[in-house]
Amino acid sequence: MSASAVFILDVKGKPLISRNYKGDVPMTEIDHFMPLLMQREEEGVLAPLLSHGRVHFLWIKHSNLYLVATTLKNANASLVYSFLYKTVEVFCEYFKELEEESIRDNFVIVYELLDELMDFGFPQTTDSKILQEYITQQGNKLETGKSRVPPTVTNAVSWRSEGIKYKKNEVFIDVIESVNLLVNANGSVLLSEIVGTIKLKVFLSGMPELRLGLNDRVLFELTGLSGSKNKSVELEDVKFHQCVRLSRFDNDRTISFIPPDGDFELMSYRLSTQVKPLIWIESVIEKFSHSRVEIMVKAKGQFKKQSVANGVEISVPVPSDADSPRFKTSVGSAKYVPEKNVVIWSIKSFPGGKEYLMRAHFGLPSVETEEVEGRPPIGVKFEIPYFTVSGIQVRYMKIIEKSGYQALPWVRYITQSGDYQLRTS
């Protein structure tokens, strides 16, 4: 079972708009939601699911809005939450920003979307590209007699329209990997994982069939390609876009699909492998009497010399009562952000194998309080193009279409920082 009704509430819990799908839960039940939420918040036991009698409220918060689904039965909670987040995504596609004002300004479109997104409590068409074909921003301009549902909605391939034509047929593939890393003060890695996504930008005519080949370890073992020459990657927690034929992937690890038009995320994966920190940070803090403190930070690029990290930002925590900052950097620039109690050292371009220094001097009226505060970790942001830390590779992209046209696939690799932190002593 799924949702009985969906409500969008303002920050005070007043309903802005609602849609009753099944009629088995009284619409007045929503009046109990906000008092229940505030009570749980005060008690410190706030949960994403709240219950009042036999009615359950499944809710999420987005900017200054609450999206709440009510249900009486034992609903599939993960389905309802996925639907609520997808609803937010669709509204953001339509209104750019989803907040109270955009709901008030677009009541008609919101009602139309709520009608199409769900039917009798079950999610229906949730692809914003398809919805935009017949629910337009200009309001309902359909003339009587001409109104019809786009065939895409009733197609087996509900995510792609027929009759798409391009002069130049191309596919752009982005392999983006985020490195999550936590290093303790002794320099040993406590947590390291790679979270990857493969995003496609598709400009292809007709109804093409695409096959993507990766250096997937399971596939290499199935086909007998595994060996010392072929570097392979063991993918975990693989999630696919709805267009991928899962039965085919389960059988022979082939990623086969008819793609949506334009931008979309084809798949995401995770690798819990031991990652060597790409940018290594060492910091030394010297305190002089009770008046000043000096922080020295050394950053080293521990990736291939031919690669370059762009837009590097190193956030170094400083005591909350520090003042009168002075900086000296071997490269880039440093600035003090007092509201966050950090120094941000920015380096535009950081080649692999290089080592850089930054010194910061601060006046310190009360150095004793620093011990009580503790020290937050140093955070690092970066992006390394043309490089993947896991070694994943796109081996091929086959594009098959009945008209037999030639199409060009373009591949780009990017490694970036995710939650990348190094603790200091």
CATH, residue 80: 3.30.450.60
Number of separate domains in the chain? 3
The pLDDT assigned to 272 comes to: 83
* Residues 97 and 117 grouped into a single domain: yes
* Residues 292 and 381 grouped into a single domain: yes
Mean pLDDT of the chain: 88
Q: What band does 310 get if pLDDT is binned at 50, 70 and 90? A: very high
- pLDDT over 70 at 147, yes or no: no
Q: Which residue has the higher pLDDT, 146 or 175?
A: 175
- Which string of b and e fits 219-256 if b means at least 16 CB within 10 Å? bbeeeeeeeeeeebbebeeeebbebbeeeebeeebbbb
The pLDDT assigned to 154 comes to: 55
* Final residue in a domain of this structure, among 132, 149, 180: 132
Q: What is the pLDDT of residues 345-403, one digit of tens each?
A: 999 999 999 999 999 998 877 545 545 556 899 999 999 999 999 989 999 999 999 89
Tokens of 70: 């009510």
The percentage of the chain sitting over the pLDDT mark of 70, rounded to a whole number, equals 91
* Residues 418 and 311 grouped into a single domain: no
For residue 43, is it within any domain? yes
CA atoms of 393 and 411, how far apart (whole Å): 9
CA atoms of 280 and 267, how far apart (whole Å): 30
Average pLDDT of span 294-299: 93
CB atoms within 10 A of CB 421: 19
CB atoms within 10 A of CB 370: 18
For residue 149, is it within any domain? no
- pLDDT over 60 at 290, yes or no: yes
* Residues 212 and 336 grouped into a single domain: no
Range of the domain at 334: 279-367+375-385
* Residues 237 and 114 grouped into a single domain: no
The structure's pTM equals: 0.75
For residue 155, is it within any domain? no
The pLDDT assigned to 330 comes to: 94
* Per-residue DSSP letter, 31: G
The pLDDT assigned to 227 comes to: 56
For residue 242, is it within any domain? yes
* Residues 112 and 23 grouped into a single domain: yes
Average pLDDT of span 53-76: 92
Q: At what angle do helices 107-117 and 77-95 cross, to 10 degrees?
A: 140
For residue 186, is it within any domain? yes
Q: What band does 180 get if pLDDT is binned at 50, 70 and 90? A: very high
Which residue carries 């909350």 as its tokens?
320
* Residues 10 and 119 grouped into a single domain: yes
For residue 153, is it within any domain? no
Q: What is the pLDDT of residues 108-142, one digit of tens each?
A: 999 999 999 999 888 988 888 788 878 876 543 33
* Residues 16 and 120 grouped into a single domain: yes
Q: What is the pLDDT of residues 208-267, one digit of tens each?
A: 999 999 988 877 777 766 554 567 888 889 999 999 999 999 888 889 999 999 999 999
* Final residue in a domain of this structure, among 132, 147, 178: 132
- CATH label of the domain that carries residue 234: 2.60.40.1170
For residue 142, is it within any domain? no
The pLDDT assigned to 412 comes to: 95
* Residues 48 and 96 grouped into a single domain: yes
Of 71-80, 152-161, 281-290, which gets the smallest average pLDDT?
152-161
* Residues 108 and 186 grouped into a single domain: no
* Residues 380 and 347 grouped into a single domain: yes
- pLDDT over 50 at 143, yes or no: no
The pLDDT assigned to 291 comes to: 79
Average pLDDT of span 70-75: 88
* Residues 270 and 292 grouped into a single domain: no
* Final residue in a domain of this structure, among 110, 132, 154: 132
Q: What is the pLDDT of residues 30-39, one digit of tens each?
A: 999 999 999 9
